[in-house]
Structure 1
Amino acid sequence: MSLCRQIAKHGIKVTFVNAESVHHKIISASPQQQDEDDSIVMETVPDGFTPEDDPNNNLFTLLKSLRRTMPQTLTDLIQRINTSNPNEKVTCLIADIACSWIFEIAEKMGAEPVAISTPSIASLAFMLHTPKLLQQGILNTNESLQNGVVVSLSNDIPSWRNDEFLWSFSKDPEIQKLIFEFTTKGFEETSKAKWWLCNSCHELEPAATQLLPNVLPVGPLNLLDSNNVKSANFFSEDSSCLSWLDIQPDGSVVYVSFGSSGVFSQQQLDELALGLELSGRAFLCVIRPGLVNGSPVVYPPGFRTGLGKIVEWAPQNRVLPHPSIGCFVSHCGWNSTTEGVTNGVPFLCWPHFGDQFHNERYICEKWGIGLKIDFNEDGIIRSRYEIKNKIDMIFSDNKFKENALKLKEMCGESVGDGGTSCINLKKFIDHLYRSC
């Protein structure tokens, strides 16, 4: 949606197509989306889900279902748009790489195929290198690495280990196979795209950018969209936390949010709550519905929330820039990573699955703006003492904040006039005008 707004600002009509179940969640959480600018038309395609279904819990079922149902419904939609106004035919089709099979539809309908990759450029590069890794025998056909092997695409990009692949998080062999097939087959389908738009900038990932000649970093998009109060969330935002932040000292608050799809055990929630309390610092903690294995939230006996504030969902685009925020405890999804980076906030990393582990390595090893929160000796939970100690380390060492502020400045320059992302976005939009 942030990318769509940038394109629409230049007078190009945009049709935003979403799966019905996802669209329903977004509209329910943010009714203002119905009043989107006239230049952005919201459309949906059926996906076989009911409004009560959670697209997060059924993500891979959704991807399989859409691949079955969407080709015809999307073709019909494009035909309807093209015939309704001959002067506003669809000339470009931008699709998430998770639905890269859509590019075949674009070619059939006479529209230019363009990919948008929501993870890091490095993650995209890994996906596109997967067939070669299989050919070289580095990856086995059972989706794992040879013993002791790590995958390195460049000396300047953190490597990947066995448990850090997109398909590694699930214990379900069927889901592992589905994601692995998507990753390996994605190369052939994604290669049909003329451009690969990425929510990143050259300065954040110079080595990864050089690996992909067709990549076009146009972000971080949250900086381009920072003045827009509209959001696209699955949950309603609780803005009461902003007035609470207003009365906290600068750089004093620990902000905790694990995104929209991670799940905790009750034991892990107990350790988190008690670790925050042990730190003795003010905290703003997002405990969304369903975070604890889909069960109602129960806090540990004796836990006192007097130090902090707990909300079900926070307006993160307004929380992270707040001067009182001193640390971001994050699952390290790429959106949250870029939002923290662009606001100069140090991280405590708590990844759950997929690309989040590699983003953690960027944060801790490459950029030097955070620390990882390690599991206990059993490899099961992050203990309250580990959480408390790592919070203390972030607040006591100025190097994390100093490095974070340097990255913030660098990203700001990339989207400013004459910056690399600014030039790339202008190049893409100029191309859209020429192809219309």
Structure 2
Amino acid sequence: MGKLPHILVVSFPAQGHVMPLMKFSHQLVDHGYKITFVNTNSIHKKLVSSSILTDHKEGKYHNKIKLVSVPEFGDILNLKEYISETMAVHLEELIKKINESDDEKIDYVVADACIGGILEIAERFGIDGAAFWPASLGVLAFMLHFPNLVEAGDVDYNGNPVKKEAARLPLGMSAMSTVDLMWSYSGEPFTQVILITIIINVNKAAKIASQMLCNSFSELEPASHDFTPNILTVGPLLSSEQLGHPNGQLWPEDSTCLTWLDQQPLQSVTYIAFGSTTLIDQSQFNELLHGLELVNRPFLLVVRPDGVDDLSASYADGFKDRIAHHGKVVDWAPQKRVLAHPSIACFITHCGWNSTLEAVSMGVPLLCWPYITDQFYNQNYICDILKVGLRVSKDKNGIITRSEIKTKVQALLGDDSIRSRANKLKDDATRSISEGGSSSKNFDDFINRIKC
């Protein structure tokens, strides 16, 4: 038997990046490729732990995917230096070590576009590579257009607005003000620094990579294709979940919620999950809990132990006891399987792209509660373009009140047109990854380009 083609996959160290790249890696494995998947040390440990992959501690392959790690970030504000120095050095050493064996030599590199500059390392070894973009095609289009905004004098090199007016974007791209860019929503100056570094890397990746891959599908974001040259949409990436295989989840999933869902009526459950990085303060979390009580429907609430200021204080008034008969709270859920469950009625979400794509692919209406950066763009796209969701609004104190939650959940569930559009998108998503579909063809095209 001949050598299995070997692909080095390098992820940006965050849940929303690791998961789609891992799903993509599984698809490559299904087509006869062997994968070495690179993470930072802390992400590597979480991935191994959540997947119960004991053999990775010895550096062995598991289902043709080998997990390896490189040293950790120091200060996230030094992301640029970390990518160009620390990560670059260790990846170069890793490739040299792997290439010592003819049977293991790296044939191709797929790198997260957010650290796309490391594709230069592959070039030094004469290895071709692709950049993988894990967020929406629309956000990618904006990032690739960013240098034009600087040249036009709309913003400076650091992303600060030069003029407070509409940014000069190509016809067909969603309108955006120069003072309303992605980092403007967070209120944290370091977010802007990090995003500008990522924008620089994405633009570098677009110039170096032989192609760019995106976890989207053409029917979902048709307008953005024109602004992203050399793009192959290969989503939605919804790989099958195999016990013990790495699936990109960094927290152990509580599957007891699936048994609980089995006991609920059809399209009755409100699912609430805010992703891997959202932080909710005490007063806002209390309003959420009381809002769910007012809705008076079955609900499944995902609350990371580190996601709320003081969970014990929130539960002190007997909330868990009061909702025990019609609600369930878990630390982390198998989200794809939850959203596919027939008892799910709607999804209160932070609008991360993975969550958005999973919900769209399952035909689930969305109540949008964005937290940071591209999640606000995704909210606008969900509500204004796709029209499969509604927004929640904050009061004068910046709180989403219990009455607002009740009103919007009821409005969402009472809007048949939203559900109808959501079901159409579900059909579009299914067709895109079926044989002959747009994403299926693009994936086959990618495979044909990298065949050794």
TM-score surpassing 0.5? Answer: yes
Residue number among 42, 46, 51 corresponding to 2:71 in the alignment: 46
Residue number among 292, 295, 315 corresponding to 1:299 in the alignment: 315
**1: CA distance between counterparts of 2:136 and 2:125?**
30
Shift of 1:164: 5.3
Is contact 1:97-1:186 (8 Å) kept?
A: yes
Is contact 2:164-2:177 (8 Å) kept?
A: no
**2: CA distance between counterparts of 1:243 and 1:174?**
42
Shift of 1:165: 3.4
Aligned to 1:340: 359
**1: CA distance between counterparts of 2:198 and 2:154?**
18
Shift of 1:65: 3.3
- Taking structure 1 as reference, are residues 62 and 194 closer, same or farther at Cα in structure 2, changes over 3 Å only? same
Aligned to 1:89: 105
Aligned to 1:30: 51
Shift of 1:93: 0.9
- Taking structure 1 as reference, are residues 24 and 61 closer, same or farther at Cα in structure 2, changes over 3 Å only? farther
Aligned to 1:360: 379
Aligned to 1:282: 298
Shift of 1:32: 4.1
- Taking structure 1 as reference, are residues 63 and 19 closer, same or farther at Cα in structure 2, changes over 3 Å only? farther
SS of the residue 2:328 aligns to: strand
SS of the residue 1:160 aligns to: coil
Residue number among 213, 227, 230 corresponding to 1:214 in the alignment: 230
| 1:418 partner letter | G
Where do 5+ consecutive residues of structure 1 fail to align?
Answer: 50-57
Is contact 2:383-2:389 (8 Å) kept?
A: yes
Is contact 1:258-1:330 (8 Å) kept?
A: yes
Q: For residues 114-153 of structure 1, what are the alpha-carbon distances to aligned partners after superposition, in whole Å with 9 as ceiling and x for unaligned? A: 1000001111111110000111122245523432425644
Residue number among 14, 19, 27 corresponding to 2:35 in the alignment: 14
Aligned to 2:447: 429
**1: CA distance between counterparts of 2:284 and 2:187?**
19
Is contact 1:273-1:299 (8 Å) kept?
A: no
Where do 5+ consecutive residues of structure 2 fail to align?
Answer: 1-21
**2: CA distance between counterparts of 1:34 and 1:283?**
38
- Taking structure 1 as reference, are residues 125 and 144 closer, same or farther at Cα in structure 2, changes over 3 Å only? same
Aligned residue pair count: 421
Is contact 1:290-1:296 (8 Å) kept?
A: no
SS of the residue 2:218 aligns to: coil
**2: CA distance between counterparts of 1:281 and 1:163?**
39
Q: For residues 214-261 of structure 1, what are the alpha-carbon distances to aligned partners after superposition, in whole Å with 9 as ceiling and x for unaligned? A: 110011011xx1354543222111111111100100000000000000
SS of the residue 1:100 aligns to: helix
SS of the residue 2:240 aligns to: coil
Residue number among 381, 385, 391 corresponding to 2:399 in the alignment: 381
1:97-246 correspondence to structure 2 within 5 Å: 97-141=113-157, 143-145=159-161, 146-150=163-167, 152-155=169-172, 157-161=173-177, 165-184=181-200, 186-222=202-238, 225-229=239-243, 230=245, 231-246=247-262
**1: CA distance between counterparts of 2:179 and 2:305?**
27
| 1:18 partner letter | N
Q: For residues 270-303 of structure 1, what are the alpha-carbon distances to aligned partners after superposition, in whole Å with 9 as ceiling and x for unaligned? A: 1110111101111000011111147756237363
SS of the residue 1:182 aligns to: helix
Percent same amino acid at aligned positions? 39
Aligned to 2:423: 405
| 1:139 partner letter | V
**2: CA distance between counterparts of 1:184 and 1:118?**
16
**2: CA distance between counterparts of 1:204 and 1:78?**
37
Aligned to 2:412: 394
**2: CA distance between counterparts of 1:48 and 1:122?**
28
Q: For residues 283-342 of structure 1, what are the alpha-carbon distances to aligned partners after superposition, in whole Å with 9 as ceiling and x for unaligned? A: 000011111147756237363323311111111021000000000000010000000000
Shift of 1:377: 2.6
- Taking structure 1 as reference, are residues 132 and 66 closer, same or farther at Cα in structure 2, changes over 3 Å only? closer
Shift of 1:64: 4.8
| 2:64 partner letter | S
Shift of 1:61: 5.6
**2: CA distance between counterparts of 1:93 and 1:200?**
20
Is contact 2:166-2:176 (8 Å) kept?
A: no
**1: CA distance between counterparts of 2:270 and 2:412?**
10
Is contact 1:16-1:41 (8 Å) kept?
A: yes
Residue number among 52, 58, 65 corresponding to 2:82 in the alignment: 65
1:315-330 correspondence to structure 2 within 5 Å: 315-330=334-349
| 2:410 partner letter | D
Q: Structure 2 length normalisation: TM-score? A: 0.87
Q: Which deviates more, 233-242 or 292-301? A: 292-301
**2: CA distance between counterparts of 1:282 and 1:94?**
42
**1: CA distance between counterparts of 2:409 and 2:237?**
29
SS of the residue 2:135 aligns to: coil
Measured on the aligned residues, the alpha-carbon RMSD in Å equals 2.2
Aligned to 1:55: none
| 1:95 partner letter | A
Q: Which deviates more, 138-147 or 87-96? A: 138-147
SS of the residue 2:86 aligns to: helix
Is contact 1:47-1:62 (8 Å) kept?
A: no
- Taking structure 1 as reference, are residues 248 and 363 closer, same or farther at Cα in structure 2, changes over 3 Å only? same
SS of the residue 2:449 aligns to: helix
